[in-house]
Structure 1
Amino acid sequence: MIQTAVDDDLRTVTMDRPQRRNALTPDGLDALETALAEATEPVVYLTGAGGAFSAGADLDVVADLDADEAEAFARHGQRVARALADYDGAVVAGVDGPARGGGVELALACDIRLATPRATFAETGVSLGLFGAWGGTARLPRVVGEGEAMDVALSGRTVDADAALRMGLVSRIVDDPRSVADTIADNDAATLRTIKRLLRADGDRETRERREAAAFAERIADFDPDDRNR
């Protein structure tokens, strides 16, 4: 259900259940969480198999949950999304084909979201009396703004790659998202981790600037001007 492959400084994590558009069961969430816990590479590339990113939660599983089980399943998905967001390195989502519900939420937890021209996004649960509960109600407005988030979440409409780029849901439309992840992995690993930590840090401007200056001083200790010629 989850496949991993390591190529130097890049770990590819693939949601591999194409017959269900990579929908995730509790076992699938466990496997994804394990794949992230085992990762040590500076860049993780998250993608889906078979022409889809992920349909999110497997609705056949959701339909059989009682209230307590549903809350536990939501907490489980939130924990996995948090593992993506808090990973000590860059996490790149490569969305090729549909991302739905929890699939959108997992992408939102990544640091960079890349779409192919075939990518589409939708929070379709609203038509079924459901909504994304893997952290999406917090992350979506932070990424695209409250107005766009309300539109996407309340309408359940499908957003194509061009519209996703305009609203800031993705940062680029590319034919080969993996190649972008490869390029990011070519950068200095410690600096990647430092930049992510600073960009995600809380605090007022003065505090953030002080942290930035201190982190820059730490990186200077390892700086080699000859690296510019490589």
Structure 2
Amino acid sequence: MRSLKIILLSSAFNGLTQRAWLELRQAGHSPSVVLFTDQDAVCEQIEQSAADLVICPFLKDRVPHQLWSNARRPVVIIHPGIVGDRGASALDWAITHELERWGVTALQAVEDMDAGPVWATCEFNLPQGLRKSELYNGRVSDAAILCIREVVEKCVAGFVPVPVDYSQRQVLGRLQPNMKQADRAFSWHDCSRFIKRSIDAADGQPGVLASLAGGQYYLYDAHLDERSGTPGEILAVHDDAVLVATGDHSVWIGSLRRKPLPGEETFKRPARHVLAQQLRDVPTLDWSIASNPFNTEAYQPISYRESGQVGELTFEFYNGAMSTEQCQRLVDALRWAKARDTKVLLIKGGRGSFSNGVHLNVIQAAEVPGLEAWANIQAIDDVCEELLTARQLVISGLTGSAGAGGVMLGLAADIVFARAEIVLNPHYKTMGLYGSEYWSYSLPRAVGQAMAEKLTEECLPVSATQALQLGMVQEIGPRCPDEFGLWLLQRANGALNDPAYAAIRERKGRSDTQLMQHCRNAELEEMYLDMVQNRKQFAEKCRNFVFKRRVCGTPSRLVADWAREAELAE
């Protein structure tokens, strides 16, 4: 197949756009990113670029007429819906209606949104219980990549997209309205599963607006529980979540955003932080690993089990963000697990991201954000230290994508196993940070000094396959989360005697603790300047991230040489 010059037009360089960028490069094409900012500027960039094809993996804005009307260069929208589906709330409705199958469709851009002829489509089973972000980053993302591959192949072959014929029996999709809060509303007297489904369908954005503790809040991160009480009453607190009674049982709510006053902006935070003043008389339930390691509670942000010689510690923090307190809880859990009579310590993530490092929303909400950031980075360093100094052979299972300190946390293990198709972002500079989490020790140990500097300076995503080739990852397991979990435990049990890891086991006995400590100290000296003294505008970058400020333009690192040359030629 001939190489194409492809523009990825996107509202953000999000996980799907990163996967598309990596996929197209791997296939021998030359993708260049254009982030949608000003309409005129976007049109100018694309019209000047001489691109063969424009693909929109994640676009909230309407494609300008000037772009979609150019017959010589197709503009293809990746829509998270089956053939015939239209509207911005496709996944919200699919989860709400508990549909058994859903899909992704690649559509030619036309005047009306999602109404163009079809280039490709891919359907999948839709299990119950998935939250929107989990669905989007999993099955939707996988189907979208298959559609993008097909679009590129068909573009090379001169394919003409096929208009949707709603009279055909197999065309089940229809135009659906944008889901409003009235469509999401529930009563605390409703059953727990209905309430959880409503919150799941709004996960990420926009959340479900509900009354709680005398105020109005957008709710996120719901988990079922069997306890019961007066509907709407907060029954308990555990870690960062609050337990709210429903019509039959109860649900844990992990994150909240207060409804803003006119002209005000608010953002998501752990529920216990948001409701701090209202929780004084609410009982706290403690089932930490150290106090109650093998409990059967349904909601466990940190959990532990043993299988043969393997102690498996799972942590699942919403959106992969790790606050100071969460890191401290994880340190306590690791210290307990390290004292067990096991030979392998397997640490893995949950259903979402593996880890994205420090908790920027908690930092932004602090009275002095720089000091909270400083406490947070030292706490996550403590997590990494526990992994680096463990007696057991430590294996990290990258169950989801990871960024910045989350990547380095994974690399603190002796062996790294990754789920297929995850994306890693092993860099800090885009947030105005030097970086910590022992990265100057762990990353060169994995890939060499020169490559470590290249990865942290270029600030580009790395696919699981690339990570394997570079030495960041030792093996790649199944893409299916459940299959990966089983595979991971099996490989962890076999790693002790696997000849492939003999050198790693031997290296573990020669760990240079003095070098580790030197790297940590040197990193923290730099991070103090970045976080507390704000030498590279970390405070502003953190605020922009938390309040989801639109970027001013496309970072030059994402612009391909051919697109940059076209701009300069004008």
The offset of 1:196, in angstroms, is: 5.8
Task: Give 3-state SS (helix, strand or coil) of 2:358's partner.
Answer: coil
Deviations 1:84-134 (A, max 9, x none): 010111110111220111211111110100112122210353222124322
Q: Distance in 2 between matches of 1:54 and 1:84?
A: 15
SS at match of 1:200: coil
Which letter does structure 1 place at the counterpart of 2:357? G
Q: Does 1:52 align with 2:325?
A: no
Answer yes or no: is the 8 Å Cα contact 1:45–1:94 preserved in 2: yes
Distance 1:196 1:90, change over 3 A: farther
Corresponding residue for residue 62 of structure 1: 363
CA pair 112-88 structure 1, distance change in 2 beyond 3 A: same
Is 1:38 the counterpart of 2:339? The answer is no
User: Once the 2 structures are TM-superposed, how far is the Cα of residue 197 of structure 1 from its aligned partner?
Assistant: 4.4
Tell me how far apart the structure 1 counterparts of residues 506 and 469 of structure 2 sit (CA, whole Å): 25
What is the CA–CA distance in structure 1 between the aligned matches of 2:510 and 2:336, rounded to whole Å? 24
Letter in 2 for 1:2: I
- Structure 1 residue 199 displacement after superposition: 4.0
Structure 2: give runs of 5+ residues left out of the alignment: 1-300, 479-486, 515-570
CA–CA separation in structure 2 for the residues paired with 1:185 and 1:37: 21
SS of 1:21's equivalent?
Answer: helix
Q: C-alpha deviations, 1:168-203, integer Å up to 9, x for none?
A: 11111222322211223678xxx9xx8464242589
Partner of 2:472: 169
Distance 2:513 2:348 in 1: 29
SS at 1:83 equivalent? helix
Match of 1:26 in 2: 324
Matches of 2:442 and 2:326, distance apart in 1: 22
CA contact (8 A) 2:320 2:352 kept: no
Partner amino acid, structure 1, of 2:363: V
Instruction: State the match for 1:208 in structure 2.
Output: none
CA separation in 1, counterparts of 2:508 and 2:428? 33
Q: How far did residue 32 of structure 1 move?
A: 1.1
Question: How far did residue 51 of structure 1 move?
Answer: 3.9
Counterpart residue identity of residue 61, structure 1: V
Aligned to 2:424: 121
CA distance in 2, matches of 1:61, 1:196: 38
Instruction: Give the direction of change, closer, same or farther, for the CA distance of 1:110–1:68 in structure 2 (3 Å limit).
Output: same
Counterpart for residue 91 of structure 1? 394
The 8 Å contact of residues 89 and 196 in structure 1, kept in 2 or not, is answered as no
1:217 corresponds to: none
Alignment partner, residue 313 of structure 2? 13
Return the alpha-carbon distance in structure 2 between the equivalents of residues 16 and 37 of structure 1. 18
Question: Does the Cα contact within 8 Å between 1:120 and 1:159 map onto a contact in 2?
Answer: yes
Distance 1:118 1:31 in 2: 30
Structure 1 residue 81 displacement after superposition: 0.4
**1:145 to 2:448 alignment:** yes
Q: 3-state SS of the aligned residue for 1:52?
A: coil
Report the alpha carbon displacement of residue 144 of structure 1 after superposing the two structures with TM. 0.9
Asked if residue 200 in structure 1 is aligned to residue 516 in structure 2, the reply is: no
Q: Name the stretch that deviates more: 123-132 or 153-162.
A: 123-132
Q: 1:81 aligns with which of 359, 384, 395?
A: 384
Distance 1:82 1:73 in 2: 14
- Work out the CA distance in 1 between the residues paired with 2:353 and 2:513: 34
Partner of 2:304: 4
Counterpart AA for 1:156: C
Pairs aligned (count): 198
Equivalent residue letter for 1:113: V
If asked which structure has higher relative contact order (CA below 8 Å, sep 6+), I would say 1
Distance 1:125 1:43, change over 3 A: same
Distance 1:51 1:159, change over 3 A: same
Identity across the alignment (%): 26
Does the 8 Å CA contact 1:101/1:131 hold for their aligned counterparts?
no
**1:180 paired residue among 491, 506, 509:** 491
Structure 2 vs 1, CA of residues 31 and 186 (structure 1 numbering), >3 Å: closer, same or farther?
farther
Describe the superposition over 1:40-86 as per-residue Cα deviations: whole angstroms up to 9, x where unpaired: 12111111111421122111123345444433322222121011010
In structure 1, what is the Cα distance between the partners aligned to 2:361 and 2:506? Answer: 40
User: Is the 1:120–1:160 Cα contact (8 Å) retained in structure 2?
Assistant: yes
Q: Deviations over 1:10-48 (max 9, x none)?
A: 11111212xx33321112111211111111121111111
**Equivalent position amino acid for 2:315 in 1:** M
CA distance in 1, matches of 2:304, 2:326: 13
Q: Taking structure 1 as the reference length, what is the TM-score of the superposition?
A: 0.76
Local SS of the residue matching 1:31: helix
Greater Cα radius of gyration, structure 1 or 2: 2
- TM-score after normalising by structure 2: 0.32
Unpaired stretches in structure 1, ≥5 consecutive residues: 204-230
RMSD, aligned α-carbons = 2.7
Aligned to 2:415: 112
Distance 2:459 2:370 in 1: 24
